[in-house]
Amino acid sequence: MDTKEFFYLYFKVRDESKETILKEGNLTEEEYAKFEQELAEEVKLIKSERSNVPEIGVDFARFTRYLYEPAPDSTKGVYRPDAVYPINGEIIPLPAVGVIERPEISLYQSIEQRRSLRKYSEEYLTQGELSFMLWATQWVRDFRSNEKVEVAFRNVPSAGARHPFETYLLINRVKGFKQGIYYYHPIKHGLILFKEGEEWAETVCKATFDQEMVAKSAVTFIWAAIPIRTVWRYSQRGYRYLYIDAGHVGQNLHLAAEAINAGACMIGAYYDEGMDEILELDGKDAFVIYMASMGKKESTAK
Ligand SMILES: Cc1cc2nc3c(=O)[nH]c(=O)nc-3n(C[C@H](O)[C@H](O)[C@H](O)COP(=O)(O)O)c2cc1C
């Protein structure tokens, strides 16, 4: 779903006037007429569903209590989900975790100086630095697999070690990598090219409501949630854990960025339909849950 389509729907389901939709959605008369036809059913559906929304947060907190918990699939003999769902493609190895340079910065300093950084220098990240960032956030340090359960351990905590995320990177400036979107293989510690081209920076930026830091970042991290990994074990309560788990990943990214003289900014403002479409996720079994842009600090540019 592109931005125009999104904003048409956004204002239409709020019963805004045609004039407002044309203006706010930056639409031509022709585009408006086309959406009126093509999206009529979707508008109807969203409008009817919007009546369920007011209590969703309250209901979510309430019905994910243990007293309401349905038996999880793991207790019903449902086959276990895999711990990693790699996309197909050739793996471009990153500098191995054991040999990457370990930046020297105290934990105190890293926590103390961390701020959300939204402006970056033009400097490229080295592959070692990217390797370090991925090590800190989603690298798999231990992996166990059998018929009953498959489990990965990473450098962030995760409820039941379910680790329900896959990592995608929008790469704009990393030495030796073409611009585009990549999938990170957390066991093989390498990248798989998913969508090549510098235009992806603008497309992803648009889906974050034009947050410029995305287009200007060295790398923007995009984490996709795979709920079944956690829900298989914890049933509906697992949905709570997805969002808690994502926070840990974000904080490790922040602290690791400080260690390499870079900065990061977490991103929760994006339209789900656009981001999921870019990553070809269905929005239900897999969806974008969190993002973060990062780059070197401007003072190091000289
Ligand atoms: C869940 C979450 C979502 C966020 N989304 C955005 C965002 O979309 N755009 C943005 O500029 N900052 C975003 N931020 C960054 C916050 O605005 C920032 O952490 C806050 O203003 C405090 O500033 P500090 O991080 O420098 O301490 C987000 C932070 C979190 C934790």
Residue 302: pLDDT above 50?
no
In the numeric block, the tokens 């007429």 are attached to 33
Cα(117) to centroid(ligand 1), Å? 9
- Residues 81-128: pLDDT tens digits? 999 999 999 999 999 998 998 889 999 999 999 999 999 999 999 999
pLDDT the model gives residue 266:
98
Residue 52: pLDDT above 90?
no
The residue whose CA has the least distance to atom 7 of ligand 1 is 267
Tell me if 267 CB under 6 Å of ligand 1: yes
247 and 292 Cβ atoms separated by less than 8 Å: no
Tell me if 112 CB under 6 Å of ligand 1: no
Instruction: Classify residue 160 as left (phi > 0), alpha (psi -120 to 50) or beta.
Output: left
Residue 300: pLDDT above 90?
no
Tell me if 113 CB under 6 Å of ligand 1: no
pLDDT the model gives residue 101:
87
Which SS3 state, helix, strand or coil, does residue 184 take? Answer: strand
- Residues 117-154: pLDDT tens digits? 999 999 999 999 999 999 999 999 999 999 999 999 99
Alpha carbons 217 and 221: distance in angstroms, whole number:
10
Mutate to test the pocket of ligand 1, among 110, 205, 249, 266 (most ligand atoms within 8 A of CB): 266
pLDDT the model gives residue 299:
76
The set of residues, in sequence order, having a beta carbon less than 8 Å from that of 44 and lying 6+ positions away, is: none
Locate the ligand 1 atom nearest the alpha carbon of residue 115 and give its number: 26
User: How would CATH label the architecture of 85-300?
Assistant: 3-Layer(aba) Sandwich (3.40)
In the numeric block, the tokens 């008369």 are attached to 29
Q: What average pLDDT does this structure show over 210-238? A: 98
In the numeric block, the tokens 């019963």 are attached to 15
Q: pLDDT over 70 for what percent of the chain?
A: 99
Cα(272) to centroid(ligand 1), Å? 17
Residue 301: pLDDT above 70?
no
- Residues 188-211: pLDDT tens digits? 999 999 999 999 999 999 999 999
Tell me if 157 CB under 6 Å of ligand 1: no
Give the distance, in angstroms, between the CA of residue 17 and the centroid of all CA atoms in the same chain.
Answer: 34
Tell me if 289 CB under 6 Å of ligand 1: no
Domain residue spans of the chain: 85-300
* Mean pLDDT (the chain, rounded): 96
Tell me if 197 CB under 6 Å of ligand 1: no
pLDDT the model gives residue 29:
97
Which SS3 state, helix, strand or coil, does residue 204 take? Answer: helix
Tell me if 269 CB under 6 Å of ligand 1: yes
Locate the ligand 1 atom nearest the alpha carbon of residue 118 and give its number: 11
Which SS3 state, helix, strand or coil, does residue 190 take? Answer: strand
